[in-house]
Structure 1
Amino acid sequence: MALTAEKLKENFAKEGKTLAQWARDNGYKPRDVWLVVGGQNKARYGRGHEIAVKLGLK
């Protein structure tokens, strides 16, 4: 089952991590990750989809 954006943010907060750091560690731009998590990028294909899958959103 896929995570919701809110649950994902909670998990990051519990672990003391930031989405920006996760983005850099995984070779993505922080802005691209925020667009996916925030819903502005629907993540249907391409890099956005790849980010959503790695984060567990899809």
Structure 2
Amino acid sequence: MVKSIQQIKNEFHSKGITFSDWAKENNFSPELVYRVLKMNRVPVRGESHKIAIKLGIKEE
């Protein structure tokens, strides 16, 4: 199931997880994770696309 960016933010907040920590644990750049979460559209390729899939805001 695809989640909205707001759902992801709420989930992280309720679990007490920071986006920076999540990025480091998943071998992504924290800056790029923040950029993906601030986009108005879902990424279609590259590292941003991988992040979107891993976060659950896009299907594989």
Do these two structures clear the TM 0.5 threshold for a shared fold by scoring above it?
Answer: yes
CA RMSD of superposed structures (Å): 1.4
Distance 1:41 1:6 in 2: 13
When the two structures are superposed, what TM-score results if normalisation uses the length of structure 2?
0.88
Consecutive aligned runs of 4 or more in structure 1 exceeding 6 Å deviation: none
Please state if 1:56 is matched with 2:56.
yes
Unaligned residue ranges in structure 1 (runs of 5+): none
| Number of the residue aligned with 2:23 | 23
Q: TM-score, normalised by structure 1?
A: 0.91
Identity of aligned residues (%): 33
Aligned length: 58
